Amino acid sequence: MKSPHAAILDKVFDADRAQRRAQGEFFTTGEDDARLDAVEAAINQAWSEGGDGEEGIARLMRVGSLLGDIGGTRGCKLLLRLLDHDEPEVRAPAGESLLDLAYSRYAEVARAIERVIDDGKAVNALSEVPYILAEIGEPGGVKLCLRLLKHPSADVVAASIESLAAFGDPTVVKELEKLRTDRRRVADEEDPEAGEVMLGDLASEAIDHLRSLDG
């Protein structure tokens, strides 16, 4: 006779098997437009119900992963919408999916990002986008990050400064110089216990790093 824990583990295995089968069916039934309709409806429902409850977060995390296997202009747009969610748990799979898509379909992802930058309202997403662009390393990402240096959100600017440093392109120093005296403060991502850091200090560090590469 199985122990109670062994029986429960069997239920976990059964649920995992059912999920794999359902996901396989999702991707082999119909066309991508129908899949995206279903995903968008699920996102809208989760958001209308608050989107920050345990079930809503779980659903948004799942569709964030699924969208990475669909892609397309509309898929990227939905991923960027998820990337603007307040919960890091939701943003993480959406960011990973965007990153995976960008390695194989960069132009598609870049166009979707440009639209979000043009709109300028999705601050959470725009605070994540520079890191994704730096990870990909495409030269076009430098221009997008330079645009974000002018965003009113200090968090977006900080992410752009750090990402431009990661790109290693010394030609951006002139633009970073303009931020040396910026006294706005943001959380220190590298050392949370340190509290906050000024944008001007981040810019100075980035400039020093880029100049060391140029010399």
Residue 195 banded pLDDT, cuts 50, 70, 90: confident
d(CA 65, CA 127) in angstroms, rounded, equals: 20
Centre a 10 Å sphere on the Cβ of residue 62 and count the other Cβ atoms it contains. 15
pLDDT at res. 88: 93
For 73-93, how does the pLDDT look when each residue is reduced to its tens digit (9 = 90+)?
A: 999 999 999 999 999 999 999
Note whether 85 and 61 are within 8 A (CB): no
Centre a 10 Å sphere on the Cβ of residue 136 and count the other Cβ atoms it contains. 16
pLDDT at res. 153: 96
Whether residue 72 has pLDDT greater than 80? yes
Note whether 85 and 74 are within 8 A (CB): no
Q: Does domain 138-215 have CATH number 1.25.10?
A: yes
Residue 167 banded pLDDT, cuts 50, 70, 90: very high
Average pLDDT, the chain: 91
Residue 2 banded pLDDT, cuts 50, 70, 90: confident
The conformation of residue 186, written as its DSSP 8-state character, comes to E
Domain ranges of the chain: 138-215
For 123-163, how does the pLDDT look when each residue is reduced to its tens digit (9 = 90+)?
A: 999 999 999 999 999 999 999 999 999 999 999 999 999 99
